[in-house]
Chain A
Amino acid sequence: KQEVTQIPAALSVPEGENLVLNCSFTDSAIYNLQWFRQDPGKGLTSLLLIQSSQREQTSGRLNASLDKSSGRSTLYIAASQPGDSATYLCAVITTGNTPLVFGKGTRLSVIA
């Protein structure tokens, strides 16, 4: 059974700092890994999708990497801003007929 773990559970950083969020998964037989953002009381916003054959994806100040063999992904946020404050979730789809499996998220606070 696929399990996804995110570390740290919470993170507080000053504005302008670069930061890394971590995601690990137990079953490396994945189709893809997706990073989401969730603001309080809101739904999930997709940030980046990494296919199993890819090593990284970039969107603006965000860069996500994937090391499938070791079961790890990182989300790098450059020059953090207060507007980046949210909960960040990673999710994987494992081969076979399985749903998206989520980690519990990292709650990020960027302090002005």
Chain B
Amino acid sequence: EAAVTQSPRNKVTVTGGNVTLSCRQTNSHNYMYWYRQDTGHGLRLIHYSYGAGNLQIGDVPDGYKATRTTQEDFFLLLELASPSQTSLYFCASSRTGGARAEQFFGPGTRLTVL
């Protein structure tokens, strides 16, 4: 069955730390997304990509970098983590872009920045 996996599932780091969140999809999808979800907010798009080597900026990109190394793998990098980046992070994939396509989500990574 097609799947989106994320690692780690939980991560604790300190302010100023360096964190990489990983996402892999076996759906053969072109599009991949990184979201964050905080209490009182819906999912907010950080970055997305429509293919290996491509990167598009989302709605809340500040403090985050992303890299799509292959069709399957999409990474989110926090180079100087701050407490404001404590959140639940979701990765997703879709066959085509945005407005109509069903997105398939990973189980999430809970990040705590102390």
* Co-assembled chains A and B: no
Q: Which residues of A contact B (CB under 8 A)?
A: none
Which B residues have a C-beta under 8 Å from some C-beta of A?
none
